[in-house]
Amino acid sequence: MFDVNQPFSRDQLILVSKLAMIAAVDRIESGMPTSCDWESRLTIAGSEKSAMTLTSHDEGCLATTGMNLACLYAQLTDDGTGIGDALQVSGFEKAVREWVELACRDKGDTVKARISQLGGRRTAYRNRVRSAVKAASNSGGWQIHEAYMNYPNCEELAVKYVDAMFNEYIQTANSPFSDVGAELGDGGYIAFPDSDGDIRRYDSHGNCEDVKNPGDDGYEEWRDLFADDALYYQPEGAGDEGSSIKSYQVYRHLANARAAHPNDDILSFNNDDIQQPKFLDLSNPEYGDPSNIPE
């Protein structure tokens, strides 16, 4: 898992995902009607049938993008997803395939006609940096997306991917709590109280800097960071067959567990009985501040 003191924001995740997609589209475009004639594409594809759809080169570009998107997700969430899943969830593979097949179904004649109507010369890609797009608009030239009827919109596809895959990460990563305790601005954290009530502060490297026991000066200030006596809560039967709660899913606050499971007995935990717990209530930003927890 990639360890960062400052979590990625939604905008940053969108940018990284978008850049991975742009790189693939730019490479695939090198074998498209805006960059080469039909004979050249036949040479690249190996046959006319292959030239009408994604070539092996195009498929390789897609696979690389899928790997980049999947690795981004795995590094930040400590969870996994496949190349094909990333391409499907984002809609990127579908968008690229439809773009290529529509442009090549008449051997690029429609694209060439659109270029002729646009006049001038190609100046920039829509997906490239803002300064390049601005320069293109001032020069009177045409941009790459104008030559196609369905040029992939990498911005929209990146937003779709991030919103589908990183919603929980974005919500929990910016909470003052993590799975280990209250996050501090310097990258360290104050851990949840242990079974004896002791509270420890750790630096960004995981080294224990201080321990406060009940009754110590400053103990109550640290203890007030945590609203409940227990470390976390879980409805009885969590993880059993038919339960909506996985064995590792817990609540940080008792009130939230009771509200979510009014007909179940709620169990409390004060130690590591549950390995790598995932907090359900911290996925809701309003629960990030203990003062917002309902009585």
pLDDT in tens, 130-142: 433 433 344 457 8
Q: What is the pLDDT of residue 139?
A: 47
Residue 105 lies in a domain: yes
End position of a domain, from candidates 152, 170, 188:
170
pLDDT, one tens digit per residue, over 25-67 is: 999 999 999 999 999 999 989 998 999 999 999 999 999 999 9
For residues 123 and 218, which has the higher predicted lDDT (pLDDT)?
Answer: 218
- The residue among 104, 74, 70, 75 whose CA lies nearest residue 90 is 70
Residue 158 lies in a domain: yes
The CA–CA distances, whole Å, from 109 to 98, 102, 144, 146 equal 16, 11, 16, 15
- pTM (predicted TM-score): 0.58
Domain check: are 135 and 213 in the same one?
A: no
Domain check: are 230 and 271 in the same one?
A: yes
Half-sphere exposure of 46 (CA within 13 A, CB side): 6
What is the arithmetic mean of pLDDT over 226-251? 78
Place 183 in a pLDDT band, splitting at 50, 70 and 90: confident
Answer whether residue 283 shows pLDDT above 60. Answer: no
- The residue among 179, 156, 147, 205 whose CA lies nearest residue 272 is 179
For residues 120 and 160, which has the higher predicted lDDT (pLDDT)?
Answer: 160
Domain check: are 210 and 222 in the same one?
A: yes
- What amino acid occupies position 289? D
Domain check: are 179 and 153 in the same one?
A: no
> Do the beta carbons of residue 7 and residue 13 sit within 8 Å?
no
Residue 2 lies in a domain: no
Answer whether residue 5 shows pLDDT above 50. Answer: yes
Q: What is the pLDDT of residue 288?
A: 38
End position of a domain, from candidates 142, 170, 198:
170
Could you identify the residue written with the tokens 């008792």? 254
- The residue among 234, 235, 233, 253 whose CA lies nearest residue 175 is 253
Domain check: are 180 and 138 in the same one?
A: no
Q: What is the pLDDT of residue 160?
A: 95
For residues 91 and 236, which has the higher predicted lDDT (pLDDT)?
Answer: 91
Domain check: are 106 and 202 in the same one?
A: no
- The residue among 34, 99, 110 whose CA lies nearest residue 62 is 99
Residue 256 lies in a domain: yes
Domain count, the chain: 2
Domain check: are 117 and 43 in the same one?
A: yes
CA 87 – CA 233 distance, rounded (Å): 37
Domain check: are 177 and 154 in the same one?
A: no
**Domain interval for residue 105:** 10-170
Q: What is the pLDDT of residue 138?
A: 42
End position of a domain, from candidates 170, 185, 217:
170
Least confident of 134-148, 215-229, 258-272: 134-148
Domain check: are 55 and 119 in the same one?
A: yes
Residue 4 lies in a domain: no
Domain check: are 57 and 143 in the same one?
A: yes
For residues 133 and 167, which has the higher predicted lDDT (pLDDT)?
Answer: 167
Domain check: are 207 and 247 in the same one?
A: yes
Domain check: are 148 and 202 in the same one?
A: no
Could you identify the residue written with the tokens 């919500």? 171
CA 184 – CA 123 distance, rounded (Å): 48
* Token pair for 276: 């790598």
Residue 282 lies in a domain: yes
CA 49 – CA 43 distance, rounded (Å): 12
Least confident of 35-49, 252-266, 279-293: 279-293
Place 161 in a pLDDT band, splitting at 50, 70 and 90: very high
Least confident of 121-130, 175-184, 208-217: 121-130
Q: What is the pLDDT of residue 256?
A: 76
Q: What is the pLDDT of residue 248?
A: 82
Q: What is the pLDDT of residue 140?
A: 57
Answer whether residue 287 shows pLDDT above 50. Answer: no
Q: What is the pLDDT of residue 173?
A: 62
Mean pLDDT, rounded, of the chain? 81
Residue 162 lies in a domain: yes
Residue 5 lies in a domain: no
